[in-house]
Amino acid sequence: MDTFAIGDQDFLLDDRPFRILSGAIHYFRVHPDLWADRIHKARLMGLNTIETYVPWNEHSPETGVFLADGGWDLGRFLDLVADSGMHAIVRPGPYICAEWDNGGLPAWLFTDPTVGVRSSETGYLAAVSSYMESVLDVVVPRQISNGGPVIMFQIENEYGAYGNDKAYLQHMVDLSKRLGVDVPLFTCDQPFGTMIEDGSLPELHKTGTFGSRADERLAFLRERQPTGPLMCAEFWNGWFDNWGTHHHTTDAAASAAELDALLTAGASVNIYMFHGGTNFGFSNGANDKGIYEPTITSYDYDAPLSEDGHPTAKYFAFRDVIAKHFPVPAEVPEIRAAAAASVAAVSRSVPLLSVPPATQLVPGPVPPVEITGHYRGFYLYEVLLQGGGVLSFSEVRDRAQFFLDGVPVGVLSREAGERTVVIPHGGRLQVLLEDQGRVNYGQRIGEAKGLIGPALLNGVEVVDWEVGAIDLSLDAFRDASLPFPDGNLAHAGVAGPSISFATFEADGPGDRFLRLDGWTKGNAFINGFNVGRYWSRGPQRTLYVPGPLIREGANELAILELHGSATREVSFVVGPDLGPDEK
């Protein structure tokens, strides 16, 4: 039986010193048909371990459910890690941050206002315990002691940046052990202030998270943990982007030098990210430190392996550093070849609100969208106003388009701090509400979405709203769509909000990069799969379309456009464009 343990100075694999050279790959950000490819390329860079978070909200989209197939098949992902000859580190949260919607916590959990957040509150612990039972049904049989790849298991995640509820942490430890975890348990926190002490327990191995000044950070960690192996559990070699800013990059040589310092110091490392992947659909998170900043669709992260799975200059720089300290495979992955370029034109369209969702009348104040039982995407509010004036809310979460008798009258954006809209006269008010991503870090985790009341028209509260979630499975919109009455004039544009459809041909599966110049804001779907949000404000200019989504022959493109386009054409281009960087 293989063993993995923590010694006085080293990790011990079968009682022999072992350095963890890990890279983060989030299986939930990668098409499952591409998992093996990404894992193999991690091994070719010289890594010996794959680390992944587990997103509770994806596996449990509603209470009492745990999905473990398709893109959520954690067991298959770990088996592929084992097949590659590599080890695995599992970080199940329950909070993961990760620039992921709600930090991985399911939104349904907080529809009960008595439930705590990341604490020893009993309702929260009960839900967490059920989740962990399901996760560990998958992980425990795949521990190294059972012949599997899993060598370490994390308790919570950077908890010292949030709180210091030791009873909560102890519950997580006791629960993990009771459910069969026998590999080392660890915590990770930033090496600042009291975070490392606040986020851990004496019995847990402490690791740091940082991306620079490695010697200083490791010294800080050693002061607080005199024995045991040093490890940077998140070596930040890049960064994420939010809408309306530049594309973040880090210098490959500088990042490689920091990695060299880590390895020279004898530390183990987990590269965050080795391969970032994509925030498909509505899965992106957001930050709010006084200003709401939703994360973009791409999670390329300027990682060594690009969003579409190809080695970058950083990949080869890291590979060279690792080769100074450890053996590296001779095989080298191929760099990206140009993808097939083409143009497609939408030929059919349907106004979004002409296929109205099922709504429910909610007596009293304007409710949050969670009342619908749906926790992502788009929602419709409706109310009959007897007159016009200034309509205000306490807050809009996150972006609302207002229509009076079908005519647009304004947009309110959380990012801009907007709360009031002028309604010219009485009539049927419809509000298309977009959840742009739940906050994934800090004290606003778990907050409700929607129009946050009171809703006041000229100071008088507006009550008795109808609200419903918009079903974007596309079938109803496809059936209702009609050809453009003026034919296929590319320059004619498309009015929004609407869903338009195009057909394009392909020789077979293969990566594509969808460019929507002239379009404003919305989501794109390939053969029914939501590849993510686009927005003309950037920085990203292309959406990554994973090759397995494309089939031989005819393929369908659907575009949800919220405002309007200056064209009916889109382009498939030869490579990604994630926008200008700071340079």
User: Active-site residue 58, yes or no?
Assistant: no
> 345-369 burial by CB neighbour count: b if 16+ within 10 A, else e?
bbbbbbebbebebebeebeeebbbb
Query: 3-state DSSP call for residue 276?
Result: coil
Which tokens hold the place of 113?
């206002």
User: How many Å apart are CA 319 and CA 566, to the nearest integer?
Assistant: 45
Which tokens hold the place of 253?
């040589």
Mind spelling out the 3-state secondary structure of 26-64? CHHHCCHHHHHHHHHHHHHCCCCEEEEECCHHHHCCCCC
User: How many Å apart are CA 75 and CA 55, to the nearest integer?
Assistant: 14
User: How many Å apart are CA 121 and CA 453, to the nearest integer?
Assistant: 27
User: Active-site residue 258, yes or no?
Assistant: no
Which one from 51, 156, 234, 307 is the annotated catalytic residue?
234
Within 8 A by CB and 6+ apart from 202, the residues are none
Nearest Cα to 154, choosing from 172, 131, 142, 167?
172
Cα dihedral: 542, 545, 547, 548 (round 10): 180
Which one from 158, 307, 434, 569 is the annotated catalytic residue?
158
Sheet holding 529-535, edge to edge: 482-483, 348-351, 498-506, 553-561, 521-526, 529-535
* Cβ-contact 44, 331 below 8 angstroms: yes
Q: Which residues are catalytic, by number?
A: 158, 234
